[in-house]
Amino acid sequence: MKAKHTILATLLLLAAMPIQAQVQWDNLINKLKVEARADGELFTTDSTPQFGFHGKYFNLMLGGELGGGVSYYFKQRIVANPGSVMFFDNTDFLYIDYKPTQNWRLRFGKDAMAMGGFEYDASPIDVYFPTTLWNSIYCFQLGISGAYISDDGNHTIVAQVTNSPYINSTGLSYDAGLVSYNLCWYGTVGHWNTIWSTSMIEREWSKFMNLTMIGNKLVFDKWDIYVDFMHHALSFDDWGKNFGVVSCANYYFTPQFNIFVKGMYEQNKSEVDLNSAVALDHLLLAGHTYTRYGLGFEWFPTEQKNVRLHTYVCRMEEWDRNTRISDTWNFNIGATWTMDFYKLFKK
């Protein structure tokens, strides 16, 4: 009889194992996606037009819970060429979160620098004809951060220390000892969303660039609009000369179709001497101004919104002091698709 009870208990245990394994699997992985984007582009200038099709992004995303308030997130940008600075060059995110309570969070690993602006905050795969600053800054850096989250979840304050992006732009090694101190507020007040930040980015030992980003966004059922203001200074007497403004508005005819308009202006009119082998300002060229503006639309042909088609046209101008050095029209058509394997496995 005892042997029969033992066999029965063993069978019950074996029967329960797949259920327990499923629970652990659900906790371990709650995000598993692959996303890709390809564009066809035509650039018209005074010289020969340039056109063709190319892949823009191919990303792998993985995330989940490790237990005890610890979670992880991983996003790998799959590219053909290896990194040049460190092992995680082409990894956008690879971090561990620890949330001892609902109000506090600690994070360590590769993360986006905690900076303001809704263009900056968007996933790169979702950004069309971005600002020069967006294109120039090496925003994904290894570091550590702490965050306070309000009880209602509408406000988050992040304090972060990361490697300085000057390590990348000047070709230094990771152990050059340059860091960036970032402070950022993410807020929601009714229809008004904010991402405000200020950063002290070390460009040389004990010499810093201040980068302040103020992003404001209004969100309603049928439309939304954001306006980002970006200002950076290399010294205390360098204020008001290097800044940019970018705005984008969407109107949603249906949940699956929207039209957008976007425009931006950026300038670097600093008096700081930048005629050196290594530019002190790695965001905008000295004496240059940039303007870009255009419109386009997005269409999601499936209810799951796992496929997005887009097209846009924009004009791009660059000036070196009083001389226009480029005037380009960009015509773009492309597609983005997402393969959500986690949802597939859940089914």
User: What was the pLDDT predicted at 25?
Assistant: 55
Q: What is the distance between the alpha carbons of residues 337 and 177, in angstroms, rounded to a whole number?
A: 40
User: What was the pLDDT predicted at 347?
Assistant: 67
Burial class (CB in 10 A: 0-12, 13-18, 19+), 52: exposed
Distance of alpha carbon 57 from its chain centroid, rounded? 13
Identify the DSSP state of 280. Answer: S
Tell me the two tokens of residue 82.
Answer: 């290896």
Return the SS3 of 142. Answer: strand
Q: What is the distance between the alpha carbons of residues 239 and 219, in angstroms, rounded to a whole number?
A: 32
Identify the DSSP state of 170. Answer: T
User: What was the pLDDT predicted at 270?
Assistant: 76
Rounded-to-5 percentages of helix, strand, coil across the chain: 15, 55, 30
- 3-class SS string, 243-275: EEEEEEEEEEEECCEEEEEEEEEEEECCCCCCC
User: What was the pLDDT predicted at 197?
Assistant: 98
End-to-end CA, the chain: 42
CA angle 17, 20, 21 (to 5 degrees): 80
Per-residue pLDDT of the chain (347 residues; tens, 9 = 90+): 444 444 344 434 444 444 444 445 567 889 999 999 999 999 997 677 889 999 999 999 999 999 899 999 999 988 766 555 555 678 899 999 999 999 999 999 999 999 999 999 999 999 999 999 999 999 999 999 999 999 999 999 999 999 999 988 888 888 889 999 999 999 999 999 999 999 999 988 888 999 999 999 999 999 999 999 999 988 777 788 899 999 999 999 999 999 999 999 999 987 655 444 445 677 888 888 999 999 999 999 998 899 999 999 999 999 988 899 889 999 999 999 999 988 887 76
User: What was the pLDDT predicted at 344?
Assistant: 80
Q: What is the distance between the alpha carbons of residues 280 and 164, in angstroms, rounded to a whole number?
A: 13
Query: Cα dist. 195→175, 304, 321 in Å?
Result: 30, 28, 32
Q: What is the distance between the alpha carbons of residues 296 and 36, in angstroms, rounded to a whole number?
A: 20
User: What was the pLDDT predicted at 142?
Assistant: 94
